[in-house]
Amino acid sequence: MQTTALEKQLHFLREIDRLKTVVRQSPLLDKSRKENSAEHSWHLAMYALLLNQYASGTVDTNRVIQMLLLHDIVEIDVGDFPIHGGLSSELQAEQEWKAADRLFGLLPSPQGKELLALWQEFERAETEDAKFAKALDRFQPLLINVFTGGGTWTENGVSLEQVFSRYGPVIKRGAPLLWSVCERWVVQHFARQASEKSPGTS
Amino acid sequence: MQTTALEKQLHFLREIDRLKTVVRQSPLLDKSRKENSAEHSWHLAMYALLLNQYASGTVDTNRVIQMLLLHDIVEIDVGDFPIHGGLSSELQAEQEWKAADRLFGLLPSPQGKELLALWQEFERAETEDAKFAKALDRFQPLLINVFTGGGTWTENGVSLEQVFSRYGPVIKRGAPLLWSVCERWVVQHFARQASEKSPGTS
């Protein structure tokens, strides 16, 4: 019985190795290549460990870490949906919920059910833990874009207003102090961009 | 005051982005490339989350996860020391402890001191949490080698006896049931290797 549970767990752990091959839009900070979703998940867990004091509500840091470790594994089946992409969010959600059922269904019960519930809690973004986790998941790529001189914003022709509307509400809701830092960064970034485009007018 | 703490934390989070560029000896399971230390750390945290029931002692899974998330960040300064490499373990430890001082020293106190202590606990491998974390850190590459038909063992001409002596004690100490699975895998792997080398005698 225990061996069967272990076999299922090891199958799941081999299956999620594929998250290392899911490439995201964001680059590494040294711009040598794009980030993958496994190392992104590691980095987000470190963000949660270090920045929990900036959560808007009272959070259980360890639950947030667990949530962030598994928040992207559905991408093994459906790929990464870029924030600046055009796909309908209903279709995306439908595919991701199906993928979560398949993946967590590989695990023995009740473990699989518990982790599925944690993933669903993240997706619903209603609890304090999930709101903070969601805020970090927006904060990290914003930080990358700022510290790589534009990143996916430059690639996709994203404006200051679009950055504010696509990142702002989620970060502000879960980590207001982090958003106040972001606002400053974003304004400075786009001011610099504008002055580089029109050096004579600066 | 709080802003200063946040600046230090964000500096640290940018600094550890470099763990994504530290390449390990082990391949991904699909053999498309070598694994890096950031995604390895993510995977190990998932191992701890899923396999905590097999720890030899009573462990705090969340502490083990935190330990594994940060266990390799010293490699940012000193690189990965392969298990089948020849470097003296004293020299390696000396370099790693120095790197840990520098990296965790970037963080505000007491956060930096607490995480340094957690990293040191992992390195000392004396507590139940650290013994289990160390066992997983040996178990994951062994699993990769078995499921990629040899991996770093084939590359380095490692024998069954060397696998038993280099992985066995650490895995057995922290997760005896996992070691019993490993023993079976390793024996089967080397038997298959032998029969492929001498097909006439099998």
Q: Give the pLDDT confidence of B47-68 residue by residue, as tens digits.
A: 999 999 999 999 999 999 999 9
- Rounded to an integer, what distance in angstroms lies between the CA atom of residue A39 and that of residue B39? 4
Poorest-pLDDT segment among A16-30, A140-154, B84-98:
B84-98
Among A30, A45, A111, select the one facing B69 at the smallest CB separation: A45
Poorest-pLDDT segment among A52-61, A192-201, B7-16, B127-136:
A192-201
Both tokens of B69, joined, read 């998330």
B143 near A CB under 8 A: yes
Q: What letter would DSSP give residue B94?
A: H
Above 80 in pLDDT, residue B82? no
Dihedral over alpha carbons A122, B58, B118, B136 (to 10 degrees):
-80
A61 pLDDT tier (thresholds 50, 70, 90): very high
- Rounded to an integer, what distance in angstroms lies between the CA atom of residue A69 and that of residue B66? 11
Tell me what ipTM this predicted complex has: 0.94
What's the pLDDT tens digit per position in B153-190? 998 999 999 999 999 999 999 999 999 999 999 999 99
Q: What letter would DSSP give residue B30?
A: T
Place of tokens 């695990």: A107
- Rounded to an integer, what distance in angstroms lies between the CA atom of residue B8 and that of residue B106? 6
B117 near A CB under 8 A: no
CB atoms under 10 Å from CB of B65, counted, come to: 24
Q: What is the per-residue pLDDT for B199? A: 62
**B16 to A70: CB separation less than 8 angstroms, yes or no:** no
What's the pLDDT tens digit per position in A179-189? 999 999 999 99
Q: What percent of chain B has pLDDT over 90?
A: 83
What mean pLDDT is reported for chain A? Answer: 93
**Average of pLDDT values for A112-138?**
98
3-state secondary structure of A198: coil
- Residue, of B199 and B102, whose pLDDT is higher: B102
| A-contacting residues in B 34-93 (Cβ below 8 Å) | 35-36, 38-39, 41-43, 45-47, 49-51, 54, 62, 65-66, 69-70
**Average of pLDDT values for A111-128?**
98
Contact B143, A6 (CB under 8 A): no
- Rounded to an integer, what distance in angstroms lies between the CA atom of residue B53 and that of residue A45? 22
Provide CB contacts within 8 A for B74, sequence distance 6+. B95, B96, B97, B99, B100, B103, B119
**Average of pLDDT values for A19-25?**
96
Sketch out chain A's domains with CATH numbers. Answer: 5-197 (1.10.3210.10)
